[in-house]
Structure 1
Amino acid sequence: MDRSLQNAHAKLMSRDIHRLTPSPTEANCFSTVGTIISRDMTPMFLKFSVDDGTGCVTCILWLNQLTSPYYNRFNSSTILLHSRTARRQARDIRIGAVARVRGRVGLYREVMQITTTNVIIERDPNAEILHWLECVRLGRSCYRIQG
């Protein structure tokens, strides 16, 4: 992957996320902004839903970095950093908050969901509408999304 695109996320609205076709070979990095409408925490993960007015998308924030075999390939300081970051983000995710969610979009039980890499609670009251406007602009000029 081109290093300049490593942290790039395509901005989409929930309805467009649900229209995606999953691809196991591409890096499906996307972001959306919306209001958190549900929250279900387990010791392994935090599952929450974001509603942006066009629909809802389920998001998963994994919290098991210290016990997951996936993280065995990283050094212990990286695992600890991921764990602390995930737990801090999970603490900030509250129903009613507006959040910017970034991550990989994939299919789980026949429904698209975001496996989050980053969740930012928005403080700007205009964040959601600005995201909408940017999605419309990008949809027309870059993504070839109609509607």
Structure 2
Amino acid sequence: MDSLHLVHVKLLAADLLSLASRHTSPPSFARCGRTVARAEVVGVVVSRDRREKFLRFLVDDGTGCVPCILWLNHQYLNANDSSSRASDSDPTAEMALKMSELVSLGTLLRVRGRIVLYRGAIQIAVRDVVLEKDPNVEVLHWLQCVHMAKECYDLQPPSA
């Protein structure tokens, strides 16, 4: 099995949003034939919509906008998401509420989580959010994405 599905793959929005969806249950995604399940993006929050059970927001990295969903009610998520495993569960409600306070318009964030399909569109089911104070982080993320794509992500998987 391809080990790329075990890590948060550093991706630019344009790359994330262009992943090929595989028709499996639960849905999985491919980049150059390799399975990608988790992603990390860095960008500026350009939209924010808070509801009782979730916070939906967009992160813009200059190549596109990544839709993100942060579930605020941990019990609700586990009861309704049979694909969620205990070892890969989303943050507890308390942690999620603290992370949701970091998400405000114009802030630079690092977001990591599972790649999921919602109404046919790719989004990130957020696992963690980090407020970035250094504006150079965005450019460094771009450089890391390009380097990792060239050296790791875009290599053909080993044949079995």
> TM over 0.5, yes or no?
yes
Letter in 2 for 1:97: T
Task: Decide which structure has greater strand share.
Answer: 2
Q: Distance in 1 between matches of 2:118 and 2:125?
A: 10
The aligned counterpart of 1:92 is: 102
Give, in angstroms, the shift of residue 70 of structure 1.
5.0
Q: Distance in 1 between matches of 2:36 and 2:99?
A: 23
Q: Distance in 2 between matches of 1:82 and 1:96?
A: 26
1:51 aligns with 2:50: no
Give, in angstroms, the shift of residue 66 of structure 1.
3.9
Q: Distance in 2 between matches of 1:22 and 1:101?
A: 21
The aligned counterpart of 1:106 is: 116
Give, in angstroms, the shift of residue 106 of structure 1.
1.7
- Percent of counterpart pairs with the same letter? 41
Counterpart mapping for 1:106-125 below 5 A? 106-125=116-135
Give, in angstroms, the shift of residue 143 of structure 1.
1.6
Unaligned runs of 5+ in 2: 29-34, 156-160
Unaligned runs of 5+ in 1: none
Deviating above 3 A after TM superposition, structure 1's stretches of 4 or more consecutive aligned residues are none
Using structure 1 for the length normalisation, give the TM-score.
Answer: 0.82
Query: Does the residue aligned with 2:115 lie in a helix, a strand or coil?
Result: strand
Deviates more, 1:125-134 or 1:104-113: 104-113
Match of 1:37 among 46, 51, 60: 46
Q: Distance in 1 between matches of 2:76 and 2:96?
A: 14
Give, in angstroms, the shift of residue 134 of structure 1.
0.2
The aligned counterpart of 1:12 is: 11
Match of 2:140 among 124, 130, 144: 130
Using structure 2 for the length normalisation, give the TM-score.
Answer: 0.76
- Contact preservation (8 Å) 1:22, 1:106: no
Size of the aligned set, in residue pairs, is 139
Query: Does the residue aligned with 2:146 lie in a helix, a strand or coil?
Result: helix
